[in-house]
Structure 1
Amino acid sequence: MSERVVVDPITRIEGHLRIEAQMEGDNIAQAYSSGTMVRGIETILKGRDPRDAWAFTQRICGVCTLVHGLASVRSVEDALKIEL
């Protein structure tokens, strides 16, 4: 028999997150995550020069601006195969 496990809300994060898992015995058969807070950063970045993404992504969160900027820079470097 399967069991449905829901964790909502996920705390200690910026924004809102819900996790749902369908258990079959001790195994997770299916899992879903739902973010209910959309800021539209992906839409804002469409059509822009990827090298400018760091400046926009730093504004995702008021607490962890540096890590969002660094993650953006690393993502662009990986996409363009830039090695330092």
Structure 2
Amino acid sequence: MSKIKFIIPCEEANHVCDKSQYKNASIREKIALNLHLIFCRACRKYSSNNSKLTKTIKKAEVECLDQKSKEAMREDFNQALKEISS
């Protein structure tokens, strides 16, 4: 039987925080993250900033360009680069 590991390094805690943001973290990962956050101020700050970023992006209702517009911009940009380098 394997030992359950609850103490995780900061890098893994940040990864689990990101996964949790997108609802991809398992229960075990969430528990380990919460235990880590009790002791680690830096990761608590990372988690807080991550939550603020997620809320801001959801609230912003950003609209993306369609593929045709993106391609037209890319062509205009490449043309401008050619003109400058000539």
TM over 0.5: no
Larger fraction in strand: 1
> TM-score, normalised on structure 1?
0.29
Larger fraction in helix: 2
